[in-house]
């Protein structure tokens, strides 16, 4: 019992000594500690929750980086990641970094829908660029009005922007302008009878509708109208049927690999009728796939694939040469029109943010509609409330493939 009492007394004396030292010993140390505590707490708070000004501006992207449309999506993905690095190295946007969140839809519409839902519901993006294909864009575009977040598509179908959806824009030149450019070239050659062969996906059928409308409207006769599937690799039956109608020109509307197969089948069948393609094959990949069968094929294309051939005074020329040089230095690869569509999409969003000094999605949407004279890879964009593509037929050059290279057609 005496031992317990002794330990108890010692403990009380130790506690009393500590209290006296704290209360009377080093008042300056106590005051210093009191002053430092709020600062330390603030420092930890900043580490836990970044200041609003330091949060990146997040832009979403959905591309077909793999799958059948990877020739579209891979250069698009590469381009936006290159732009992210370039913009951030120059100080970012509104004093903040940008972060481009890229999903690969694998050229699958269901995966495109799931990726879009992630971007709109979970990732805090202020705008979305892509998808790569018209079918995937048409499948998701209604979601953006509900989310009130702008979409700038990298797909070409006119139906994406006609009728106008307030929250949806696109960068590729429209089907109608491409068809008009082809048919004007057809007329200039004194051809009168035209056959068409189109793929049965969103891009092909949108183009088919415009061809069916404009061929008779421009005084030409539609003598054959054939369709093939996206997975088809042999189209000799359709081409034989077309040849039986003795057309003056054939127009194929689709994206690789179908058009390359059609080019080969035409040569195999000995058909010499001039063949036009859509702007959906305006990449070196088409020439690689079609090989010698691509020789002499004509199509409307943006100026990116023949930048060195355009006049020095053209306002696009220096931009195109700079993009080509940066892409080649970054990826050691050739550019394509499709990567250019992604460049335009991101930079249009960036321009809209800079115009309004705001990364609010509604402000971005409003300022996209006000963009005039924007020099892009696909042309010079003039948006309005009535026009969410902003390009005209003048965005195209008619090109012909000669010796495996693109050449401006006379």
What is the pLDDT, as a whole number, of residue 255?
87
Residue 139 confidence (pLDDT): 96
pLDDT, average across residues 196-215: 94
d(CA 54, CA 57): 9
What's the sign of the alpha-carbon dihedral 364, 365, 366, 368? positive
- Spatial distance between the Cα atoms of 201 and 59, rounded to a whole number of angstroms: 28
pLDDT greater than 80 at residue 35 = no
Per-residue pLDDT at 33 exceeds 60: no
Separation of alpha carbons 166 and 106, rounded Å: 28
State the CB neighbour count (10 A cutoff) for residue 389.
Answer: 26
DSSP letter for each residue of 288-323: HHHGGGGTT-EEEE-GGGGGGGS-TT-TTHHHHHHH
**Tokens in use for 254?**
């689709």
pLDDT of amino acid 326 = 97
Give the pLDDT score at 30.
33
Measured distance CA(281)–CA(336) in Å, rounded: 10
Domain spans in the chain, listed from the N-terminal domain onward: 53-172+315-391, 176-301
| Top-level class of domain 53-172+315-391 | alpha beta
Please, are residues 377 and 302 in contact by the beta-carbon 8 Å criterion?
yes
- How big is the CA angle at 200 (ends 196 and 203), to the nearest 5 degrees? 85
Fold classification of 176-301 is Rossmann fold (3.40.50)
Query: What's the first-to-final CA gap in the chain, in angstroms?
Result: 115
| Helix (H/G/I), strand (E/B), else coil: 99 | strand
Decide if pLDDT at 251 tops 90. yes
What is the pLDDT of the chain when averaged over all its residues? 88
Band of the pLDDT at 282, cuts 50, 70, 90? confident
Of residues 326 and 11, the one with the higher pLDDT is: 326
**DSSP letter for each residue of 24-84:** HT-HHHHHHHHHHHHHHHHHHHHHHS--GGGSPEEEEEEE--SSTTHHHHHHHHHHHHHHH
- Dihedral, 298, 205, 216, 296 alpha carbons, nearest 10: 10
Bridge-based pairing state of the strands 380-381 and 374-375? antiparallel
Q: Contact 345/72 with Cβ under 8 angstroms? A: no
Instruction: Quote the longest CA-to-CA distance of the chain.
Output: 123
Distance CA 141, CA 139 (A): 6
Strand 298-301 to 397-402 pairing: antiparallel
| 256 contacts 232 by C-beta, under 8 angstroms | no
Of the candidates 118, 201, 392, 329, the one whose C-alpha atom is nearest the C-alpha of residue 382 is 392
Q: Which pLDDT belongs to residue 2?
A: 41
215 within 8 A of 230, measured Cβ to Cβ: no
Comparing 53-172+315-391 with 176-301, is the CATH topology the same?
A: yes
At residue 256, the pLDDT reads: 84
The pLDDT assigned to 47 comes to 34
Check the CA dihedral 143-387-373-342 and report its sign.
Answer: positive
Peptide bond into 257 cis (omega under 30): yes
pLDDT attached to residue 377: 97
Q: What is the pLDDT of residue 54?
A: 77
**Residue 23 C-alpha from the chain's centroid:** 68
- The CA-CA-CA angle for residues 85, 88, 93, to 5°, reads 135
Range among 12-26, 208-222, 274-288 rated most confident: 208-222
Residue 3: what pLDDT?
41
C-alpha 313 chain-centroid distance? 27
Beta bridge mates, 56: none
- Beta bridge partners, 402, equal 405
């Amino acid at each position: 019992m005496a031992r317990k009492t002794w330990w108890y007394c010692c403990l009380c004396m130790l506690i009393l000594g500590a209290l006296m030292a704290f209360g009377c010993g080093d008042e300056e140390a106590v005051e210093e500690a009191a002053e430092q505590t709020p600062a330390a707490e603030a420092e930890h708070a900043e580490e836990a929750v970044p200041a609003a000004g330091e949060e990146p501006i997040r832009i979403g992207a959905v591309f077909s980086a793999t799958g059948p449309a990877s020739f579209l999506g891979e250069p698009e993905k590469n381009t936006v990641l290159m732009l992210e690095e370039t913009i951030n190295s120059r100080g970012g946007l509104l004093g903040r970094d940008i972060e481009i969140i890229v999903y690969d839809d694998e050229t699958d519409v269901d995966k495109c829908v799931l990726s879009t839902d992630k971007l709109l519901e979970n990732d805090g993006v202020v705008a979305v660029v892509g998808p790569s294909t018209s079918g995937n864009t048409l499948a998701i575009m209604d979601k953006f009005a509900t989310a009130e977040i702008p979409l700038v598509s990298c797909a070409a179908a006119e139906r994406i922007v006609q009728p106008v959806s307030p929250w949806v824009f696109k960068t590729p030149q429209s089907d109608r302008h491409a068809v008009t450019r082809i048919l004007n070239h057809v007329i200039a050659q004194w051809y009168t009878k035209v056959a068409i062969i189109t793929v049965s996906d969103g891009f092909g059928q949108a183009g088919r509708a415009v061809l069916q409308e404009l061929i008779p409207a421009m005084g030409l006769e539609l003598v054959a109208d054939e369709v093939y599937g996206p997975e088809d690799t042999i189209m000799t039956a359709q081409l034989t049927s077309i040849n039986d109608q003795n057309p003056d020109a054939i127009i194929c509307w689709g994206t690789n690999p179908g058009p390359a197969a059609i080019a080969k089948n035409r040569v195999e069948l000995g058909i010499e009728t001039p063949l036009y393609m859509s702007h959906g094959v305006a990449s070196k990949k088409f020439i690689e796939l079609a090989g010698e069968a691509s020789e002499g094929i004509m199509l409307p294309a943006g100026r990116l694939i023949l930048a060195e051939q355009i006049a020095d005074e053209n306002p696009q020329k220096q931009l195109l040469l700079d993009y080509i040089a940066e892409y080649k230095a970054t990826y050691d690869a050739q550019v394509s029109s499709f990567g250019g569509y992604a460049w335009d999409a991101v930079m249009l969003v960036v321009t809209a943010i800079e115009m309004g000094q705001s990364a609010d999605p509604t402000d971005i949407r409003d300022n996209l509609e006000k963009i005039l004279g924007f020099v892009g890879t696909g042309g010079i964009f003039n948006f309005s409330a009535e026009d969410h593509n902003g390009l005209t037929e003048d965005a195209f050059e008619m090109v012909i493939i000669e010796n495996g290279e693109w050449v401006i057609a006379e």
